[in-house]
Amino acid sequence: MAMLDIRDLHVAFPRGKKDEVEALRGVDLTLEKGERLGVVGESGAGKSMLAFAILNLIAEPGRVSAGRITFHGENLLELSERDIRGIRGNRISMIFQDPMVTLNPVLTIGTQMIETLKAHRRISEAEAHRLCVEKLRLVAIPSAESRMSAYPHELSGGLRQRVVIAIALLTDPELIIADEPTTALDVTIQAEIMALILKLCRENDVALILITHDLGVVAEVTERIMIMYAGKCVEEGPTRTIIETPAHPYTYGLLRALPQNAVRGEKLYQIPGAMPPITALPSGCAYHPRCARATDRCRAEIPALGPEGTACFHPLAPAEAAS
Amino acid sequence: MHILAFLIRRAVQAVIVMFVISLIGFSIQDNLGDPLRELVGQSVSEEERDALRDELGLNDPFFVQYVRFLGNAVQGDLGTSYFFKRPALEVIMDKFPATFELVLGAVFIFVTVSIPAGIYCAIHRDSWFARIIMTGSIIGISIPVFLTAIFMVWLFGVELGWLPAFGRGDTVALPWGWDTGLLTLDGWSHLILPSITLSSIMLPLFIRLIRAEMLETMGTDYVRFARAKGLSTSRVRYVHAFRNTLLPVVTVGGLMIGTLIAYTILTETVFQWPGMGFLFLEAVNRVDTPLIIAYIIVVGLIFVVVNTLVDFVYTLINPMVKLPGAKA
Amino acid sequence: MISWRGVFKRFLSDPVAMAAGLVLLVLVLMAALAPLLAPQNPYDLMQLDIMDSEMPPAWKPGGDERFLLGTDSQGRGVLSTIMYGTGISLLIGLGAVVVQGVLGITIGLLAGYKGGWIDAFLMRLADIQLSLSTLMMAIIALALFNAAFDANTYADYAIIMLIVVIGVAEWPKFARTVRSSVLGEKNKEYVDAARVIGLPARRIMWGHILPNTLTPVLVISTIQVAEAIMIEASLSFLGLGMPTDRPSLGSLIRSGFEFIFSGSWWITFYPAIVLVVLVLALNLLGDWLRDVLNPKLRRGDN
């Protein structure tokens, strides 16, 4: 049985007094122990929503309106607040996007690390302190001991994110959900941090859900990829397969738009149009207005995610897709 | 070491401010009223008046008189009250304990009520109790302090007769010259209404402020992250969210010091509380110029000192603001 | 610019705003038409009879239907004194806001448009003044004024003094509001266009930028009037404001205060109610204006 199994997840937000609009429109996801999955999509596609839903952290007034999220067989959505707290930061950890706003500016690094440990196990202050320093060293932070009493604003962006990663690892979790962990950092630091995350996950056999809009990063780090568009998953499969022979036109478009895939002398490719907001979705397949292969069927029916891992009525054949 | 540097810098600033205040105060005093009129009767001849003026140094140039004034001030001599015929500073300091205890009572009530109320209104924002508090705040902001005081006096003092409506009650003289009302039951019963009144003015403003700040911090990413770490709800609220709420509250508090002093004058007037504010108004009515000026200077000093304290407290709770002189 | 029709529609659909507006209208009319509407002129000494003093409201035993809300210690009808007094309170409140407004808007425009050290200096001044409480400064200023002049001179100039003192003390609020508006507008295209044509700075500031900063000014004006009225009431209550022969609501409350203990509560009570209602209506209206006049109602910028 898969470690994490998400079935038909729907997340909805109220609109006006009676209506609701869905940010996630039925998403499935499975994850094995130690597996690394990338969730790729544009802003607004619902990737972060997926991450927060797993830990039941959808901000009000949003809510999970349907679906199941099972972790080792237990449905996380049915757990009491107390029980889900036992899982948060303990067996499933999260890394947010911008470490400057993730860490509380008025509390020391040490305080924010030790409190995580103390929330989940009985441990003395001294022992917790020791463990924290150890983890700081693990993420290659120099002068780890003195950093414990430092405040977040005294560290650089890269160091701060390392602290956040260290916090995520403190309780030896089984799964880390990283929501755009490098987007807010300097380009030069991004690669370092990504390499660090990869290394730590491999070494400690920790599963990873990496949420990002950057296909390049995902290719390096993950074993499977899930492509999201307008609140649904449109393609998923092994990383290699998707990168080399994408089946969904959107995935193809994304790959073609990557600078490294550009043809010399030609203009950089861009998918025409823009992703529709969840409040104004077209009928049928949400991608059809931008798709060159769209037919009447696409405009009328919503394609389901098929067994080959694509939600499309006219997927690309492997030969077409190789580029 | 940083603290010392900070204190020295602020002390210098304070001295400059006090200079300015004393200069303004003195030049006003110079032009206000005629000290001679108070000191001697009408039947003194013109030559004798002039001679007296010379003797008192009242014919000296402005600057000389000012320096003399400063010299005296530093030694604690701020002139002599026309009415009390005693050193002005002494008269004012006599009344200091009364005002101090009043403010103490008010601050105590204010802190113990506004913080829980503000936090409650933020956490349970849609509950009926929270709505009542918020509506009460709007109305509270529209009622000037002296009306609240009058209402208190009327309701509890006249109609119900539960609590005394004026004065300070029995006081006990402590060895170092402090007359306190805190050691007698009578003193306490007199303290209740004025303290409640004085604190009630600041309550609506701060409850709204704390609620707004708390709501904002609870929506931040770091609070969300704290929850994602599996921390308990109370730790998230009171350690993570609330600590950040304190910062703007302290800042606003600092801006309200002058207003608090003014409200104290109003409260003391209604309750005939024998404090510095009440003394000041009486001095105004009697045109007791030295006392008026002395009060202004004392209040200026209090204002500067409290402001410095507030700034200091702010740097203590906000690690992002460094004391001047601290290493980068 | 603001879509006034939109604002009016919102007004008609909000019961609180309408109630506040109505109450305000009634009070203003009452004050403006006092000489016509009041049962008597309480300041005409010929009309007063000392035998009429301290009579309770008309519906209570001992009351007289000539004096609906009772009389004070001089035999003046409380209703009449309230009608005249509200007018004075409003006059001072509005006058003070006009002074603050003119001063604050000018300084704010200057600071925002010129920038540089002028801006830094003016804003520092504003900061300092903001940290000094208006009420306290007014108390000190008026106390000194009181001590310097005798009672008669003082009475003549009291209104002007109050308007000036409160007005000058509160300019920073207008200045800051206008300044941030100006900073926002300064970078817009129409300013560059005007400059290119060669309009002098003053023209640009007053003729072009100012109309676009009117919205936030309008919002704080209402609340500032409420604030000014409250400050004036406090000052009058302390005896530092309007004298008893030309009383504002605050002075009326003051003169009635001592009679609470002897049972003539109506002398203080009714003026107090009117004061609270007036300030509350202004505050509610101001709050509503603030909610409504945010940028969402603007119909596009130039």
B76: left (phi over 0), alpha (psi -120 to 50) or beta: left
Domain count, chain C: 1
pLDDT of residue C2: 59
Nearest to B129 by CA among B137, C215, C95: B137
Is any Cβ of chain B less than 8 angstroms from the Cβ of A191?
no
- Please provide residue A35's backbone torsions phi and psi, each rounded to the nearest 5 degrees: -80, 150
Which of B228, B233, B240 is facing A104, going by the closest CB pair? B240
Site from C124, C134, C139 to mutate, B interface, most B CB atoms within 10 angstroms: C139
Here the CATH number for the domain that contains residue C232 is 1.10.3720.10
pLDDT of residue A133: 92
pLDDT of residue B238: 86
pLDDT of C144-161, one tens digit each? 887 777 667 777 788 888
Structure tokens at C160: 């002007």
Residue B202: list chain C partners with CB under 8 A.
none
Q: Which residues are CB-contacts of B232 (< 8 A; sequence separation ≥ 6)? A: A85, A119
pLDDT along chain B (328 residues), means of 10: 72 78 74 62 69 69 74 73 81 88 89 89 86 85 86 82 77 75 78 88 88 88 89 85 86 86 90 89 84 86 86 81 48
State how far residue B51 is from chain C, nearest Cα, in angstroms: 25
- Please provide residue C72's backbone torsions phi and psi, each rounded to the nearest 5 degrees: -95, -165
pLDDT of B204-257, one tens digit each? 889 989 998 888 888 888 898 998 888 888 888 888 888 888 888 888 888 888
Q: Does A have 3 or more CB contacts under 8 Å with B? A: yes
Query: Which partners does chain B have (≥3 C-beta pairs < 8 Å)?
Result: A, C
Which of A96, A105, A115 is facing B320, going by the closest CB pair? A105
ipTM, 2 dp:
0.85
Residue A115: list chain B partners with CB under 8 A.
229, 231, 235, 239
What are chain A's domains?
4-91+171-245 (3.40.50.300)
> CA A131, CA A148: separation in Å to the nearest integer?
11
Q: Which residue of C has its CA nearest to B293?
A: C144
Residue C276 to residue B296, Cβ atoms within 8 A: no
- Beta bridge partners of residue A70, listed in sequence order: A5, A75
pLDDT of residue C301: 32
Find out whether B256 and B50 touch, Cβ atoms under 8 Å.
Answer: no
Is any Cβ of chain B less than 8 angstroms from the Cβ of A100?
no
Enumerate long-range contacts of B237-243, CB under 8 Å, 24 or more apart: B237/B119, B237/B123, B239/A107, B239/A115, B240/A104, B240/A107, B241/B214, B241/B217, B242/B119, B242/B214, B242/B217, B243/A104, B243/A106, B243/A107, B243/B317
Measured CB to CB, residues of chain B less than 8 Å from chain A are 219-233, 235, 239-240, 243-244, 247, 317-320
Q: Which residue of B has its CA nearest to C278?
A: B142
> CA B152, CA B150: separation in Å to the nearest integer?
5
pLDDT of A288-298, one tens digit each? 888 888 888 88
Residue C132 CA: distances (Å) to CA of B254, B262, B302, B303, C126: 10, 11, 13, 9, 10
Percent of chain A with pLDDT over 70: 99
Task: Look at residue C296 and tell me whether its pLDDT is greater than 50.
Answer: no
Residue A164 confidence class, pLDDT cut points 50, 70, 90? very high
Structure tokens at A132: 């924290």
Residue A113 confidence class, pLDDT cut points 50, 70, 90? very high
Give burial (CB, 10 Å; 0-12/13-18/19+) of A247: buried
Residue C201 confidence class, pLDDT cut points 50, 70, 90? low
Q: Which residue of B has its CA nearest to C265?
A: B154
Is residue C236 in a domain?
A: yes
Residue keyed to tokens 């005249």: C84
Residue C239 to residue B285, Cβ atoms within 8 A: yes
pLDDT of residue C97: 94
Residue keyed to tokens 């004391």: B323
Structure tokens at A109: 């690094």
Task: Look at residue C297 and tell me whether its pLDDT is greater than 50.
Answer: no
Is residue C61 in a domain?
A: no
Is residue C77 in a domain?
A: yes
> CA C113, CA C179: separation in Å to the nearest integer?
8
pLDDT of residue A323: 56
Residue A120 to residue B230, Cβ atoms within 8 A: yes
Find out whether B17 and B304 touch, Cβ atoms under 8 Å.
Answer: yes
Q: Which residues are CB-contacts of B59 (< 8 A; sequence separation ≥ 6)? A: B50, B53
Query: Which partners does chain C have (≥3 C-beta pairs < 8 Å)?
Result: B
Residue B231 to residue A153, Cβ atoms within 8 A: no
Is residue C127 in a domain?
A: yes
Q: Which residues are CB-contacts of B281 (< 8 A; sequence separation ≥ 6)? A: B265, B269, C238, C239
Residue A102 to residue B221, Cβ atoms within 8 A: yes
Residue B319 to residue A86, Cβ atoms within 8 A: no
Is residue C18 in a domain?
A: no
* DSSP type of residue A78: G
- Which of A218-232, B297-311, C93-107, C190-204 bottoms out in mean pLDDT, i.e. has the lowest? C190-204
pLDDT (average), residues A172-201: 88
pLDDT (average), residues A115-121: 89
pLDDT of residue C298: 39
Task: Look at residue A97 and tell me whether its pLDDT is greater than 50.
Answer: yes
Residue A102: list chain B partners with CB under 8 A.
221-222, 225
List b or e across B240-251, with b for residues whose CB sees 16 or more CB atoms inside 10 angstroms.
bbbbbbbbebee
> Does residue A92 or residue C193 have the better pLDDT?
A92
Total Cβ atoms within 10 A of residue B131: 13
pLDDT of residue B328: 38
pLDDT of residue B327: 40
| DSSP per-residue letters across C80-97 | HHHHHHHHHHHHHHHHHH
Site from C144, C252, C275 to mutate, B interface, most B CB atoms within 10 angstroms: C144
Residue A285 confidence class, pLDDT cut points 50, 70, 90? confident
pLDDT of residue A73: 84
Q: Which residue of B has its CA nearest to A170?
A: B229
pLDDT (average), residues C166-179: 89
Is residue C302 in a domain?
A: no
Total Cβ atoms within 10 A of residue A164: 26
Q: Which residues are CB-contacts of B31 (< 8 A; sequence separation ≥ 6)? A: C148
Range of the domain at C91: 23-34+66-295
Residue A264 CA: distances (Å) to CA of A214, A258, A260: 21, 13, 10
